[in-house]
Amino acid sequence: MKPIEVRNKIFLVGAVDWAIRDFHGYETPRGTSYNNYLIVDDEPTLVDTVKHDFAGVMLKNIRDVIDPAAIRHVIINHIENDHATSVDRVMDAAPAATLYMTERGKKGLARFFDLSGWRIKTVKTGDELKIGTKTILFIETPMLHWPDSMMSYAEEDKVLFSQDAFGQHIASSGRFDDEFIASASLAELDDAVIDYYANILMPFGSLIKAKIAEATKMGLELRVIAPDHGVIWRQGPGRIVQMYIDMAEGKAMQSVVVIYDTMWRSTEQMTQSVIRGVKDAGLDCRAIKLRATPMSVAVKEFWKARGALIGSPTLNNIPFPTICQFLTYLRGLRAKNRIVGAYGSFGWSGGAVREVYETVREIGLETFEPGVETTYRPAPEDEQRCYDFGAAFAEKVREYHAKF
Ligand code: FEO
C-alpha cells in the first residue's frame, strides 16, 4: 500500500479503528485512530506505538516503508494502553532499537512489561536526539494528561508529535485536517475536537495554557501538529492551538443546555416550559435527556454552553441516578466557568434540587438560585414558574457570559 507521508520522510504508520464505540467508557460514534509515526533518516525512529490489537497493522505499515529491524530509536510519548501496549511487538521486530521516555514513563511502563531486556534512555525537556539530518527535541508535559506524558518535535521539519493533545476520536480515510473538512465539514471536525477536550482535557486548562506559553517561549514553529488520535493538522495548526487556548480560558457559547431526566414525565413537562422561557428570553437552548444520551455527549454539550439547567426528579430523597452520575463525572472533570440552575419534581419530600445545588457548589461552579420544584404533577401555575425561571436564567447567563 502507498505510505502516508506527513512531511519530508515522516510517515503515518498507525491504524484506524472504525469499529470502536466504547473508548474506556467514553462514547466514540465516529470511531478513532491510533496514530504513530516513522521518521526515516540515517537512524530510523518510531514515534509512539498503537493499541495492541492493531500491532499487526502498524508493523505492516512500517514494512511498506522500511524493514522494521532497521529502526534504531522508539520514542514513547505516552504510556497509556492505546499507545504503548504494542511496545513488545515493536521491540521484537526492532531488536536494535533504544526506547526513549520520561522517568515517570519508564516507571509506569514497567507495570506493563518486563523492561530488563530493553535499552531505555530517559529524557527531559530540552534533551535532543540526532538521528541523521533530523533532530528530535523532547518536551515533558506532565499531567497532560498522565504523569508520564511528553511531546516530541522534529526540529528541521517543524512537526510536533503531540500525543493525545490536539487529538480527536475520528476514524477517516482522509488522515489530514484539510481532507476531513473536504469530505465532511469543519463544523464536524470542531465538534470532535470539543468532544475530546471536554471529556479528556477539561481538568487541565491551566496546564494547557502554561505549556502553550512555554512552547511559544521556546520559539517552536509549528508547520504540522501530529496527534496520536484523529486527523493530522497540516492546514490549520495555528487554528487548533488557538482553539485550545480559548477552551483553556473558558470560552463557551452564550447559550443554555438543559440536562435532565424524568420518571413519570413531570420533570420532562417542566423542561418544556424551562426551554420556552430560555428561548423567549433570546438564548439558544438545547435539551439532553440523560437516559437517552451517552454521558460523554452530555458533557460535551455542557462544555459548549455558558449556562446549564439541570432537571431531576427526586428518587429516595436524592437526585435521579443518571443525574448523580453526570454530576460525579463533572466533578472529576473539574468543570469551570459555567453557571448552573436546577429544577425538578418530587412526590412527598424533595431533595434532588437541593442536592444538585450542593454538588454544583462543591465543584466550584456558579449557581443560579433558588431553583424550581413542583409536587407530583406541574399545574399551569408551575409551568409558568418554570417558564419564568428559564427566562430569568437566560438573563443571568447573558450577564455572566459578559465577564469572559
Ligand atoms: Fe490516547 Fe491518554 O491515551
pLDDT per residue as tens digits for the range 326-354: 999 999 999 999 999 999 999 999 999 99
Residue 298 near residue 326 (C-beta atoms within 8 A)? yes
82 is catalytic: yes
Query: Does any ligand 1 atom lie closer than 6 A to the CB of residue 83?
Result: yes
d(CA 76, CA 177): 24
Kindly give the residue spans of alpha helices, DSSP state H, lying in 66-122. 81-84, 87-93, 103-109
Residue with CA at minimum distance from ligand 1 atom 2 = 80
DSSP element (H, E) containing 387:
helix 380-401
CB 258 within 8 Å of CB 284: no
From the CA of 71, how far away is ligand 1's center (Å)? 24
CA 97 / ligand 1 centre spacing (Å): 23
Contacts of residue 287, defined as CB under 8 A and 6 or more positions apart, other chains included, come to 257, 258, 259, 260, 271, 275
Binding site membership of 51 for ligand 1 (Cβ less than 6 Å): no
Ligand 1 midpoint to CA 391 (Å): 41
Q: Which three cell numbers stand for residue 176?
A: 489530514
**CA dist list (Å): 326 to 165, 185, 296:** 24, 30, 9
Does any ligand 1 atom lie closer than 6 A to the CB of residue 80? yes
The alpha helices in 28-86, defined as continuous H runs, are: 55-63, 81-84
Which amino acid is residue 15, in one-letter code? A
Query: What angle do the packed helices 380-401 and 266-280 form, to 10 degrees?
Result: 50
Q: Which of 157, 164, 177, 383 is catalytic?
A: 164
Q: Is 78 a known active-site residue? A: yes
Displacement of CA 351 from its chain's centroid (Å): 33
Which one of the listed residues 26, 34, 37, 196 is annotated catalytic?
Answer: 196
Q: CA-CA distance, 260 to 320, in Å (whole number)?
A: 9
Coil, helix or strand at residue 222: coil
Alpha carbon of 142 to ligand 1 centroid (Å): 13
Is 52 noted as a catalytic residue in this protein?
no
Judged by phi (left if over 0) then psi (alpha if -120 to 50, else beta), residue 221 lies in beta
Q: What is the pLDDT of residue 236?
A: 80
Residue whose Cα lies nearest atom 1 of ligand 1: it is 164
Ligand 1: atom nearest CA of 146 is 2
229 is catalytic: yes
Identify the CA nearest to 38 among candidates 209, 121, 154, 122. Answer: 154
The order of strands in the sheet holding 159-163 is 128-130, 135-140, 150-154, 159-163, 224-227
- What 3-state class would DSSP assign to 344? strand
Cα gap 16→395, rounded to integer Å: 45
The alpha carbon of 105 and the centre of ligand 1 are apart by a number of angstroms equal to 13
Query: Is the minimum distance from the CB of 229 to ligand 1 under 6 angstroms?
Result: yes
- Which of 83, 145, 169, 401 is the catalytic position? 145
SS3 55: helix
Active-site residue flag, 164: yes
For residue 226, give the C-alpha cell.
501530529
Check the CA dihedral 56-61-62-66 and report its sign: positive
Residues 136 and 121: beta-carbon distance below 8 Å? no
Average pLDDT, 10 consecutive residues per value, the chain (404 residues): 95 98 93 98 98 98 98 98 97 98 98 97 98 98 95 98 97 97 97 96 93 92 97 95 94 97 98 98 98 96 98 97 97 96 96 98 97 97 98 98 94
145 Cα nearest atom in ligand 1: 2
Distance 83 CA to ligand 1 centre (A): 7
Asked about 382 being catalytic, the answer comes back as: no
Quote the DSSP letter at residue 121: E
The rounded distance, in Å, linking the Cα atoms of 274 and 270 is 6
Nearest C-alpha neighbor of 38 from the set 104, 107, 136? 136
Counted residue by residue, the chain has a size of 404
User: Is 127 in the active site?
Assistant: no
State which ligand 1 atom lies nearest to the alpha carbon of 81: 3
Residue whose grid cell is 487541565: 204
User: Considering only CA atoms, which residue is closest to atom 3 of ligand 1?
Assistant: 80
Centre of ligand 1 from the C-alpha of residue 213, in Å: 23
Which residues, listed in sequence order, are joined to residue 134 by a DSSP beta bridge? none
Which residue of the set 64, 80, 179, 395 is catalytic? 80
